[in-house]
């Protein structure tokens, strides 16, 4: 299973961005809908931080307190793609953003995910 993240860039405080994560290489008949999809971010010198997850079962979403009200995760099963809509961006949102996939349940730990995208840089600066 391969994940390809994209959509990062340099924006100003208050702007919006939408990240995408295309998933491919499914095996054994388990398609995109069988995977919990999560987003993490990692700022320089900090640990990787869980942001949000979409449940594989019913698409329920979970998000960290740090992004509630600003970030929204979603998925398009037909396109094998997960999204992270980021609004009202702040300088503290600057980080490399990663998508991750797991056949299991949503987890807030990096250890809960076997498959990872390469990361996309988001920089929020005036």
Scanning the structure block, which residue is given the tokens 């996309």? 120
Q: Counting every residue, how long is the chain?
A: 126
pLDDT (tens digit, 9 = 90+) per residue, 18-59?
A: 999 999 998 888 889 999 999 999 999 999 999 999 999 888
Pairwise CA distance, residues 111 & 69, whole Å: 26
Mean local confidence (pLDDT), 120-125: 98
Nearest partner of 73 among 55, 90, 91, judged by Cα: 55
For the stretch 77-94, pLDDT in tens is 999 999 999 999 999 999
Distance CA 126, CA 104 (A): 40
Mean pLDDT of 90-102: 97
Model confidence at 115: pLDDT above 90: yes
């Amino acid at each position: 299973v391969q994940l390809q993240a994209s959509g990062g860039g340099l924006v100003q405080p208050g702007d919006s961005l939408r990240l995408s994560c295309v998933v491919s290489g499914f095996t054994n008949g388990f398609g995109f809908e069988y995977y919990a999809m999560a987003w993490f971010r990692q700022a320089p010198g900090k640990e990787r931080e869980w942001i949000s997850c979409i449940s594989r079962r019913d698409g329920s979403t979970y998000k960290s307190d740090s992004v509630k009200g600003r970030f929204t995760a979603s998925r398009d099963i037909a396109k094998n793609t997960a999204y992270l809509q980021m609004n009202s961006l702040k300088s503290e949102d600057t980080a490399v953003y990663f998508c991750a996939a797991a056949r299991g349940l949503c987890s807030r730990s990096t250890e809960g995910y076997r498959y990872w995208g390469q990361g996309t840089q988001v920089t929020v600066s005036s």
